[in-house]
């Protein structure tokens, strides 16, 4: 103890042993985890054509993670479902299964957190909140959850007395106000909606606790969330969920739809046509699929208003890789059934058959409204 | 008149000590203000909510950083400089470099906190300040630590004693911790939850291996020197020291119990934190069996009263901490506001109380001026009351929060509803603590920076001192 050099080296070693064990030990054990399929072949290989999990977040959600971090949301919200021995997180309905290391390998910001003044958010994207509900919660949590102590973020929204196309109505006592989400608010909501561990992995299956005891009510902080999916049969709600994701998503596997048609499907008057109540969306399926694949340009009349613009197709050549038949079916089904729209679902087979019928059309040759009208009217 | 050697040492350390203590005081007030805002925002979410600068998360995080690096860092520099100089019986040289480095340290923290409030927070525990400020913090820290080392190396007495081990070890641990944490979090970031392991390892160890040993070192110094009797069972101290050195770096990861990390990580943490009862028992025996041989002196000499409050708080709450690391208990309390209890008992109830005591002990020796007894007593009783109310609210509130949160049938809003009264108590506790610290810092500044227009006999006093 009297030789400062020896003393320094000893206390340095006590510290570095622990660090080495945790860093080298843990890296060795799971530093090279990769996305994998929900279940593996018997020989441990990934089945061909299997979907791999976890999926990487859409670009807009990754930006949302940075906003989430910078506002300090992680101070009160964890993003981890503890194992069944270590707590009642699964029973509380905070996830279908405990979180495992593999769930986090593609996240740039891993925000496990260690305080739950607010609920756990590891699976918030799986709960049945609409993005409108999330926006309301972000703007003024107390307007949707009574007694919440979550901090409002009004600085992310533009407040108006009057309704505008993409605004959200909030009832505040007697008066109603309308809020318009900023880009940052949209990023955060996209991030929250992307948070889910809704897949099984070879190392962890969905917990059977909830099925054993159906009487346990899944309690969450929600008074009565507006749902997009509960009214539909499960196959349809799956399609709706995936369609909504594509609608909101930027980058690979995304349709980028909301940037023009807006989150509420209302479009922007004079610039982008609405999807709600539009005959182009709710009417002839073939016409809708065609313009989705190749895109549409020129003058078009929607709900009595004239628009003149260009919509890139997303079936053949989009900014990123084109959507496949299933994805197109999902997103079209979604726009036909949200925001008060209600029309039959579109199946991947229907998309495939239309795609086949127009396979001779040049990829860059967009449809015009007149062309589509004349094509469909004889039928 | 020839000065005695101790006065010469005090004289050489005076400039730097005053600088560090004065800036520590300002940071303490900043942290108290931030703590109050954060507590008020929990009781009324609409308070200051329209300003993006003041989201709860940012305030909470900057409060912790202001407290640990601003108040903690500066006071660590001040007291370790003085204690090491006194124990080594050697003069402090290079005060100007100390001040220079200290100024950089304080400026970096200021920029760091503004960076957090402006939305450039990093996601690692107690490493939240933006990455641009860390090189400056590290360099200024190394300058200060190097100068303290030089003082220590030139000591007259080659045999070292407990306060020196703890303080020197803390000075070495912090930069090592930082480099280890930084390498795995920013330079070559680990994938996925590896980051979370390192983040919690760093954040908890800053408390365990930086603030804690310095406060223990102060207690090991002041108790025997004031009571003028040796530490009882001093031969255990070396065992206690190596237990902390060997166990603390392993024990902190028990906070990850049940999380998405390899199972052995929290398991080791739990085992090691149970083993922490040994160093806690050693420190407790050393301090209290010495102090309780002369209770009236402890009670009547206010600095010592502060220190013993701190060591008692350390003992009690560390044992509570061990209990809460047991998996069966952690199941209930792991993510509850018990975490606030742990943090606040460690930085307020233990570290700050001991630092208050030691500063009150050093100030008259170094400046020749004394803070009024009434002010000191006011500070002690309000601090004690505030800390007690705060910790009790977090403890009972945390148990309520944890136990109710584990009832799956109870809606989350109901759980939070039943914790709200405790948030209100903490708001008042932070208000009391803020007042108490305001009195402390005002008096501190009055003693450090005397009014040049003061009456002439006080000036004369100053000269003779």
**What is the rounded CA–CA span in Å between residue A249 and residue A268?**
19
Q: Which of A92-96, B87-91, B288-292 has the lowest mean pLDDT?
A: A92-96
**What is the rounded CA–CA span in Å between residue A159 and residue A177?**
7
Q: Is B432 exposed, middle or buried (0-12, 13-18, 19+ CB in 10 A)?
A: middle
Lookup: tokens for B287: 């301090």
Distance from the Cα of residue A70 to its chain's centroid: 20
Structural domains in chain B plus CATH codes:
5-464 (1.20.210.10)
DSSP reduced 3-state for A166: coil
Question: What band does B410 get if pLDDT is binned at 50, 70 and 90?
Answer: confident
Closest alpha carbon to B121 in A67, A105, A62: A67
Lookup: tokens for A321: 């890789």
B175: phi then psi, degrees, rounded to nearest 5: -65, -35
Distance from the Cα of residue B406 to its chain's centroid: 32
- The whole-angstrom distance between A150's CA and the closest CA on chain B is 6
Q: Which 8-state DSSP code applies to residue A82?
A: P
Please name the residues in contact with B183: beta carbons below 8 A apart, sequence gap of 6 or more. Answer: none
**What is the rounded CA–CA span in Å between residue A152 and residue A141?**
6
A2, B57: Cβ pair inside 8 Å? no
Check if A21 contacts B (Cβ < 8 Å): yes
Task: Give the nearest partner residue to A101 out of B120, B193, B406, using CB atoms.
Answer: B193
Report, as an integer, the average pLDDT of A203-231: 54
pLDDT at site A1: 67
The answer to whether the CB of B330 falls within 8 A of the CB of B266 is: no
**What is the rounded CA–CA span in Å between residue B284 and residue A212?**
50
CB contacts, 8 Å: B160 with chain A: 1-2, 7
CB contacts, 8 Å: A1 with chain B: 160, 165, 238
The answer to whether the CB of A225 falls within 8 A of the CB of A128 is: yes
Q: What pLDDT digit, counting tens, does each position of B303-349 carry?
A: 999 999 999 999 998 999 999 999 888 888 889 999 999 999 999 99
Q: Is residue A165 scored above 80 in pLDDT?
A: no
A21: phi then psi, degrees, rounded to nearest 5: -60, -50
When the pLDDT of each residue in chain B is averaged and rounded to a whole number, the result is 91
Report, as an integer, the average pLDDT of B141-165: 93
Pairing status of strand A52-53 against strand A36-37:
antiparallel
Give the A window 274-313 contacts with B, CB below 8 Å: none
Check if A207 contacts B (Cβ < 8 Å): no
Task: Give the nearest partner residue to B195 out of A70, A99, A110, using CB atoms.
Answer: A110
Please name the residues in contact with A29: beta carbons below 8 A apart, sequence gap of 6 or more. Answer: B262
A31, B152: Cβ pair inside 8 Å? no
Residue in chain A lying closest to B165 (CA) = A1
B192, A155: Cβ pair inside 8 Å? no
Helices and strands in chain A, H and E counts = 13, 8
Q: Which of A186-195, B288-297, B442-451 has the lowest mean pLDDT?
A: B442-451
pLDDT at site A225: 42
Residue whose entry in the numeric block shows the structure tokens 């006071």: B75
Q: Which segments of B207-301 does DSSP mark as H helices, in order?
A: 212-227, 237-251, 264-275, 277-291, 295-300
Task: Give the nearest partner residue to A115 out of B176, B339, B409, using CB atoms.
Answer: B339
CB contacts, 8 Å: B249 with chain A: 14-15, 17-19
Q: What pLDDT digit, counting tens, does each position of A219-263 carry?
A: 443 444 444 444 566 667 777 888 888 887 766 666 677 777 877
Give the A window 212-271 contacts with B, CB below 8 Å: 216-217, 219-221
Q: Which of A198-202, A222-226, B122-126, B457-461 has the lowest mean pLDDT?
A: A222-226
Task: Give the nearest partner residue to A87 out of B197, B334, B423, using CB atoms.
Answer: B334
Distance from the Cα of residue B458 to its chain's centroid: 34
Q: Which segments of B292-301 does DSSP mark as H helices, in order?
A: 295-300
B412, A219: Cβ pair inside 8 Å? yes
Residue in chain A lying closest to B418 (CA) = A147
Check if A320 contacts B (Cβ < 8 Å): no
Q: What pLDDT digit, counting tens, does each position of A350-370 carry?
A: 888 888 888 777 777 788 888
Q: How many CB pairs below 8 A link A and B?
A: 231
Residue in chain B lying closest to A10 (CA) = B245
**What is the rounded CA–CA span in Å between residue A172 and residue A152?**
13
Report, as an integer, the average pLDDT of B142-153: 94
Bridge partners, residue A204, by sequence:
A201
CB contacts, 8 Å: A23 with chain B: 180, 184, 190, 194, 197-198
pLDDT at site A218: 44
The Cα-based distances of B210 to B167, B179, B180, B407 in angstroms read 9, 14, 14, 38
Please name the residues in contact with B34: beta carbons below 8 A apart, sequence gap of 6 or more. Answer: B59, B62, B63, B66
Helices and strands in chain B, H and E counts = 19, 0
DSSP reduced 3-state for B78: helix
B194, A26: Cβ pair inside 8 Å? yes
CB contacts, 8 Å: B45 with chain A: 141-142, 148-152
**What is the rounded CA–CA span in Å between residue B353 and residue B308?**
9
Lookup: tokens for B397: 């509130």
Check if A371 contacts B (Cβ < 8 Å): no
Bridge partners, residue A159, by sequence:
A179
Q: Which segments of A249-324 does DSSP mark as H helices, in order?
A: 258-261, 279-282, 285-294
Q: Is B316 exposed, middle or buried (0-12, 13-18, 19+ CB in 10 A)?
A: middle
Residue in chain B lying closest to A145 (CA) = B413
Residue whose entry in the numeric block shows the structure tokens 């970031």: B189
User: Is pLDDT larger for residue B218 or for residue A293?
Assistant: B218
Q: Is B118 exposed, middle or buried (0-12, 13-18, 19+ CB in 10 A)?
A: middle
Task: Give the nearest partner residue to B409 out of A102, A150, A216, using CB atoms.
Answer: A216
Structural domains in chain A plus CATH codes:
52-212 (1.10.760.10), 234-376 (1.10.760.10)
**What is the rounded CA–CA span in Å between residue A271 and residue A288?**
20
Question: What band does A377 get if pLDDT is binned at 50, 70 and 90?
Answer: very low
Task: Give the nearest partner residue to A71 out of B57, B265, B410, using CB atoms.
Answer: B57
Distance from the Cα of residue A222 to its chain's centroid: 19
Check if A353 contacts B (Cβ < 8 Å): no
CB contacts, 8 Å: B149 with chain A: 4
**What is the rounded CA–CA span in Å between residue B255 and residue B327?**
10
- What per-residue string of b and e applies to B86-110 under the rule 16 or more CB within 10 Å gives b? bbbebbbebbeebbebbebbbebbe
Lookup: tokens for B387: 């800390």
**What is the rounded CA–CA span in Å between residue B315 and residue B373?**
28
B259, A112: Cβ pair inside 8 Å? yes
Lookup: tokens for A315: 């079936």
ipTM of model: 0.90
Q: How many CA atoms lie within 13 A of A51 on its CB side?
A: 8
Q: Which of A230-234, A304-308, B78-82, B430-434 has the lowest mean pLDDT?
A: A230-234
The answer to whether the CB of B237 falls within 8 A of the CB of B230 is: no
- Per the document, the length of chain A is 379
Q: Compute how many other C-beta atoms are within 10 angstroms of the C-beta atom of residue A106.
A: 17
The Cα-based distances of B401 to A80, A109, A118, B397 in angstroms read 18, 27, 11, 6
């Amino acid at each position: 103890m009297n030789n400062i050099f020896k003393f320094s080296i000893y206390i340095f070693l006590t510290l570095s042993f622990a660090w080495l064990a945790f860093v080298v030990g843990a890296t060795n054990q799971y530093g090279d985890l990769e996305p994998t399929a929900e279940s593996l072949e018997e020989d441990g290989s990934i089945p061909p054509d299997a979907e791999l999990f976890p999926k990487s977040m859409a670009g807009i959600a990754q930006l949302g993670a940075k906003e989430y971090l910078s506002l300090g949301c992680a101070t009160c919200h964890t993003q981890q479902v503890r194992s069944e021995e270590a707590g009642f997180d699964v029973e509380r309905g905070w996830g279908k299964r405990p979180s495992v290391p593999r769930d986090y390998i593609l996240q740039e910001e891993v925000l496990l957190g260690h305080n739950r003044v607010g609920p756990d958010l590891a699976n918030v994207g799986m709960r049945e909140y609409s993005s409108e509900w999330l926006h309301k919660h972000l703007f003024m949590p107390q307007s949707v959850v009574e007694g919440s102590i979550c901090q409002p973020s009004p600085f992310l929204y533009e407040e108006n007395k009057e309704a505008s196309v993409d605004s959200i109505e909030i009832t505040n006592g007697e008066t109603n106000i309308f809020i318009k989400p900023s880009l940052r608010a949209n990023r955060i909501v996209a991030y929250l909606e992307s948070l889910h561990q809704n897949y099984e992995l070879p190392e962890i299956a969905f917990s059977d606790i909830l099925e054993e005891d159906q009487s346990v009510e899944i309690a969450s902080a929600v008074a009565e969330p507006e749902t997009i999916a509960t009214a539909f049969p499960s196959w349809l709600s799956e399609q709706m969920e995936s369609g909504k994701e594509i609608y909101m998503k930027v980058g690979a596997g995304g349709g980028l739809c909301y940037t023009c048609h807006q989150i509420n499907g209302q479009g922007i008057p004079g610039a982008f046509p609405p999807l709600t109540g539009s005959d182009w969306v709710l009417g002839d399926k073939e016409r809708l699929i065609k313009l989705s694949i190749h895109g549409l340009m020129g003058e078009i009349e929607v709900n009595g208003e004239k628009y003149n613009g260009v919509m890139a197709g997303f079936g053949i050549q989009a900014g990123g890789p084109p959507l496949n038949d299933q994805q197109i079916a999902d997103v079209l089904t979604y726009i036909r059934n949200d925001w008060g729209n209600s029309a039959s679902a579109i199946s991947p087979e229907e998309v495939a058959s239309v795609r086949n019928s127009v396979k001779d059309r040049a990829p860059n040759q967009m449809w015009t409204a007149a062309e589509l009208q004349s094509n469909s009217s004889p039928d | 008149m020839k000065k005695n050697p101790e006065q010469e040492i005090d004289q050489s350390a005076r400039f730097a000590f005053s600088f560090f203590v004065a800036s520590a005081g300002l940071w303490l007030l900043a942290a108290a203000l931030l703590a109050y805002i954060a507590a008020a925002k929990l009781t009324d979410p609409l308070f200051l909510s329209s300003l993006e600068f003041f989201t709860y998360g940012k305030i909470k995080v900057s409060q912790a950083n202001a407290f640990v690096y601003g108040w903690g860092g500066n006071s660590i520099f001040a007291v370790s400089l003085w204690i090491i100089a006194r124990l080594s019986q050697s003069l402090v040289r290079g005060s100007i470099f100390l001040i220079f480095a200290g100024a950089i340290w304080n400026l970096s923290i200021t920029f760091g906190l503004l960076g957090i409030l402006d939305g450039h927070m990093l996601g690692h525990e107690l490493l939240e300040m933006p990455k641009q400020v860390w090189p400056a913090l590290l360099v200024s820290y190394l300058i200060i630590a190097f100068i303290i080392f030089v003082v220590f190396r030139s000591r007259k007495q080659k045999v070292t004693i407990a306060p020196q081990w703890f303080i020197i070890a803390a000075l070495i641990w912090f930069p090592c911790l930082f480099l280890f944490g930084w390498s795995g979090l920013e330079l070559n970031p680990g994938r996925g939850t590896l980051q979370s392991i390192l983040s919690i390892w760093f954040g908890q160890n800053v408390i365990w291996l930086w603030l804690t040993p310095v406060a223990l070192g102060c207690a090991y110094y002041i108790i025997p020197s004031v009571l003028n009797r040796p530490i009882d069972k001093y031969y255990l101290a070396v065992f206690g020291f190596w237990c902390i050195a060997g166990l603390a770096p392993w024990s902190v990861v028990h906070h990850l119990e049940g999380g998405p990390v390899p199972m052995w990580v929290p398991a080791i943490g739990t085992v090691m934190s149970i083993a922490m009862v040994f160093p806690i028992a050693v420190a407790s025996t050393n301090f209290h069996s010495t102090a309780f041989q002369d209770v009236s002196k402890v009670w009547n000499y206010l600095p010592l009263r502060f220190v013993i409050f701190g060591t008692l708080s350390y003992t009690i709450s560390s044992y509570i901490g061990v209990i809460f690391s047991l998996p069966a208990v952690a199941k209930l309390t792991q993510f509850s506001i018990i975490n606030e209890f742990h943090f606040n008992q460690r930085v307020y109830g233990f570290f700050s109380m001991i630092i208050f005591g030691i500063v009150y002990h050093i100030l008259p020796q170094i400046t020749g001026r004394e803070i009024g007894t009434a002010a000191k007593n006011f500070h002690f009783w309000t601090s004690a009351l505030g800390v007690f109310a705060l910790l009790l609210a977090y403890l009972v509130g945390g148990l309520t929060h944890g136990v109710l949160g584990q009832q799956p049938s109870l809606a989350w809003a109901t759980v939070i509803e039943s914790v709200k009264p405790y948030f209100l108590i903490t708001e008042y506790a932070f208000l009391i603590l803020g007042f108490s610290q305001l009195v402390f810092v005002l008096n501190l500044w009055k003693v450090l920076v005397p009014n040049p227009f003061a009456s002439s006999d006080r000036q004369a006093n100053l000269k003779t001192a």
